[in-house]
Amino acid sequence: MKRFTSARISQLLFLALFLVLFVQTEYRGNDQISAAVNSFFRADPLVSVSYLLAEKSFTWLIFPGILVLALTILLGRFFCGWICPLGTILDLITGRIRKTAPIRALKRNLKYFLLIPLLTCSLFGVNLTGLLDPMALLLRALSFFFYPLVGDTVRQGWVALYRIMGERRDLLAPGYDIVRDYVLPFRETFYPLAFLSTALFLLILFLERYETRNWCRNLCPLGTLLGIAGRFSLFSRLPKKLCPDCGACRDLCPTSFDRDILQKEECILCMECQLHCPSQRIRFSFSGISAADGPYLPERRLILGGVVTGFFLARFFRFRSPEAQVRILRPPGVQDEGEFLRKCVRCGECMKVCLRSALYPAILQAGVEGVYTPQVIPRLGYCEYNCTLCGQVCPTGAIPNLTSEAKKRAVIGKAAFNKNHCLPFAKKVNCIVCEEHCPIPSKAIRSRKMAEVANDGTQAVIQVPYVVDELCTGCGICENVCPLEGKAGIEVFAVKDRTPLREYGNNKDILPEQGKKNDPYSG
Amino acid sequence: MNRRAFLKTVGFWSLFMEMSVRNLFAREQAMVAVAEGSDHARTTRKALAALGGMKRFVKSGNVVVIKPNMGWDRTPAQAANTNPVVVRALAEEALAAGAKRVKIFDRTCNDERRCYVQSGMKDAFKGMKNVELKFIENERFKKVTIRGSVLAEWELYGEALSADVFINVPVAKHHGLSKLTLGLKNVMGVMGGNRGSIHKNLDVALADINSVMKTHLTVIDATRILTAHGPQGGNLADVKVLNKVIASTDIVAADSFATTLFGMKPAEIPVTVAAYRRGLGEMNLNRIKVVKV
């Protein structure tokens, strides 16, 4: 019987937890999501460190990540060997992949040339760490590709059953309802960048061809960061080198024994060596730091080179596409584009959780550095008035976690009619579907009756809509439900000033009738 | 016979014929039951009893569809959705009358999951046997030939079409375009496709739809009504509590009576007028027998 180390059991538990939380990151009948997969990002030191560097302020949201970093200084890279779900997936599949020789180009200092520029870039205000964060990579592949694929496949199967069985399918409905309500995504949403996300994930798996944990030891910026912290750790494997008479560790160890000496920053504390040591010599204990552990920091030229690269990278991204910021619609509560870009991890949770599938990853719409950041596309989905889920699941507060009351006032943009398309203007017929759907209690879209000459020359009284800018939040339901096909007759445009709608008087409701005096448009 | 005499005769007889034809096809006088009371379940049952009870509509083994308005992510107090207490009372009555299964659904405007929860429906039917509160599934829409004045055909919901009894349970509320939304407009909730596009001819299109999607029993929830900023509301200042439930087998008559609760006349509501002209029911209040209980 195969024996499991405690590390492997912990890995499997955390992977299961990750997947359960992933499925839980969806509206399942409650306004509040009690636990979401964002916990993993809040405990992610790379996210925490880059947030601190970029935002230069502290929030308790990232505290768990700082804690993990502190524990790493004490214990070493336990995160990689005990927690990281991507690492677990690699461990689970690597046994089935035949290895060729390691890639030499990866063996040099490439990982430092990824981590140091990324962090420097953050320091100068361009936070790109989410692009290479292992959990973000995994989550994006899941949310943009695998999960929608599973959802769509099951759904298609369910529809096919209806074609075959007709109404008798109802016999199976209770079972399907449970799967739909607790496991599947509710909507079949397809995302741009699905293939890129999957390709990156598969590439990481593919790298296992060359050596075990290839991504983890040669590329992963989170692993590299934890490795640097782990060099200081007091907890260590003993003995710190291969025993001259055995050397079995060379094969047992997934990460560290490339050379004959233990490289502490690579040791992920999986403890396979202890379990399988033929002569029971190996133990893990607090040993203090000794000179044999090597230098604490990477070589100076690496650090300097990395910093300079990062600096120029950050400067380079200052050349933002000028029109990008003007057109892009951000999730509710995001007021400042720069701050949003500095905080966003690009984990994709907001897009996954979005009730009406209004959020999609930007490709280049927000500029090169905005890739994978969420944007609202109202024609595909609108922001539901009472919903606050995206703010709840955002790990770093890039999308603020607003109360329902505050969220209802948060401005995404402002709607405007296109008179060449909108039916009452262009075709002189009644419509008003937008006004009907506008969720603002006193209506940000209103209409007045106008005597018009219809296109056939007859007189007609048409209800002509208009937008009350002071009440419009840009939720986009108007653009979404506009019965015109293709281009809507009303569209939401981004605005620079996203100050929340003001409250009128003591009444908490938005522009109640009592507030009529204050509101020139009320009527 | 000279021309003048001929025209006179024809004119006279055509008047007479008009009346006799009407009498020939006249159904029994439209009757609307109006119950009042703050116990809304009891009030609903009273209105139903005045019509002759649920047994008049539901036979043993029937599949009953109840179509409330629960299209909006609003709470029951906001009066944008049908009162769940009224709907539950109807479901219980249908089961008591021998219904095999009661299905409840609506094609919502906001997110269906939120609507079903926020409207109070999910809680109202939790644990009830043989009652299914179900989401709309697109594959169940069936193309129906209408040959109406503006709609040649439209996709309607299969489970609504195949039901033995279709009970239409709107909430009485204001609407920006049709002025009021009542029973006739509530049927939009079983329409598939781009239903927003019928707004350009809303009144006639709804008469078209109602001519093929027959309502057997209309129960209008006026326990509280939304008097402005409909159909979605949201401001409690727009809500008026009336504690009334209106029931009728004649959908146009039910709508016509409900119109008076807003201080309007049925003739002011184009949807009602179009349905009346199509012969879907009676809109003249003096020809409707109102039974208050």
Domain ranges of chain B: 29-292
What is the pLDDT averaged over residues A389-401?
Answer: 95
Of B15 and A327, the structure prediction assigns the larger pLDDT to: A327
Name every chain A residue with its beta carbon within 8 A of the beta carbon of B158.
Answer: 167
Please report the pLDDT score of residue A294 as a whole number.
Answer: 63
CB–CB contact A29 B118 (8 Å): no
Check CB contact of A26 with chain B, cutoff 8 Å.
no
- Phi, psi at A185, each rounded to 5°: -70, 140
What is the pLDDT averaged over residues B107-135?
Answer: 95
CB–CB contact A513 B196 (8 Å): no
At A431-484, the pLDDT tens digits run 999 999 999 998 999 999 999 898 888 898 999 999 999 999 999 999 999 999
Please report the pLDDT score of residue A513 as a whole number.
Answer: 46
Please report the pLDDT score of residue A204 as a whole number.
Answer: 96
Of B15 and B9, the structure prediction assigns the larger pLDDT to: B9
Please choose, from the candidates A217, A222, A297, A289, the residue with its C-alpha nearest in 3D space to the C-alpha of residue A253.
A217
Rounded to whole angstroms, the Cα distance separating B183 from B221 reads 10
Residues on chain B bordering chain A, Cβ-to-Cβ distance under 8 angstroms: 73, 109-111, 113-114, 117-118, 122, 134, 137-140, 158, 162, 175-177, 194, 196-197, 199-202, 229, 231-238
Please report the pLDDT score of residue A9 as a whole number.
Answer: 93
Mutation to test the B interface, candidates A428, A429, A432, A501, most B Cβ within 10 Å? A432
At A252-309, the pLDDT tens digits run 888 877 777 788 888 899 888 888 888 888 888 887 666 555 666 777 888 899 999 9
Please choose, from the candidates B117, B269, B276, B49, the residue with its C-alpha nearest in 3D space to the C-alpha of residue B180.
B269
CB–CB contact B235 A442 (8 Å): yes
Name every chain B residue with its beta carbon within 8 A of the beta carbon of A447.
Answer: 176
List A residues 383-402 in contact with B (Cβ-Cβ < 8 A): 384-387
CB–CB contact B235 A514 (8 Å): no
Rounded to whole angstroms, the Cα distance separating A51 from A47 reads 6
At A130-172, the pLDDT tens digits run 999 999 999 999 999 999 999 999 999 999 999 999 889 999 9
Name every chain A residue with its beta carbon within 8 A of the beta carbon of B236.
Answer: 509
CATH entry 3.60.60.10 includes domain B29-292: no
Beta-carbon contacts of B22 under 8 Å, excluding residues fewer than 6 positions away, are: none
Beta bridge partners of B246: B34, B220
Nearest residue on chain B to A429, alpha-carbon basis: B200
- Least-confidence region, from A162-176, A503-517, B77-91, B115-129: A503-517
CB–CB contact B114 A386 (8 Å): yes
pLDDT at B163 over 90: yes
pLDDT at A201 over 50: yes
State the average pLDDT for chain B.
92
- Least-confidence region, from A104-108, B9-13, B204-208: B9-13
Check CB contact of A442 with chain B, cutoff 8 Å.
yes
**Side chain identity at residue B49, one-letter code:** A
Write the CATH number of the domain with boundaries A412-497.
3.30.70.20
How close are the terminal C-alpha atoms of chain B, in Å? Answer: 58
pLDDT category of residue A410 using cuts at 50, 70 and 90:
very high
Please report the pLDDT score of residue A317 as a whole number.
Answer: 82
Check CB contact of A189 with chain B, cutoff 8 Å.
no
Q: How far does A485 lie from chain B, in Å, by closest CA?
A: 9
CB–CB contact B199 A387 (8 Å): no
Beta-carbon contacts of B246 under 8 Å, excluding residues fewer than 6 positions away, are: B32, B33, B34, B35, B47, B172, B218, B219, B220, B222, B254, B257, B258
At A339-385, the pLDDT tens digits run 999 999 999 999 999 999 999 999 988 888 899 999 999 999 999 99
Name every chain A residue with its beta carbon within 8 A of the beta carbon of B134.
Answer: 173
Distances (CA, A) of A7 to A46, A81, A83: 22, 7, 8
Cis before A239 (ω within 30): yes
State the average pLDDT for chain A.
89
CB–CB contact B140 A162 (8 Å): yes
ipTM over 0.85: yes
- Strand B165-169 vs strand B217-226: parallel, antiparallel, or unpaired? parallel
Name every chain B residue with its beta carbon within 8 A of the beta carbon of A462.
Answer: none
CB–CB contact B234 A438 (8 Å): no
List A residues 481-520 in contact with B (Cβ-Cβ < 8 A): 481-483, 485, 509, 512-514
Q: How far does B217 lie from chain A, in Å, by closest CA?
A: 24
CB–CB contact A483 B122 (8 Å): no
pLDDT category of residue A197 using cuts at 50, 70 and 90:
very high
pLDDT at A514 over 80: no
pLDDT category of residue B21 using cuts at 50, 70 and 90:
low
CB–CB contact B237 A436 (8 Å): no
A–B CB contacts, 8 A cutoff, strictly below:
95
Beta-carbon contacts of A31 under 8 Å, excluding residues fewer than 6 positions away, are: A386, A387, A388, A404
Please report the pLDDT score of residue A264 as a whole number.
Answer: 81
Neighbours of A327 (CB within 10 A): 13
Please report the pLDDT score of residue A515 as a whole number.
Answer: 46
Name every chain A residue with its beta carbon within 8 A of the beta carbon of B111.
Answer: 27, 355-356, 384, 387
Q: How far does B20 lie from chain A, in Å, by closest CA?
A: 37
For chain A, percent of residues with pLDDT exceeding 90? 65
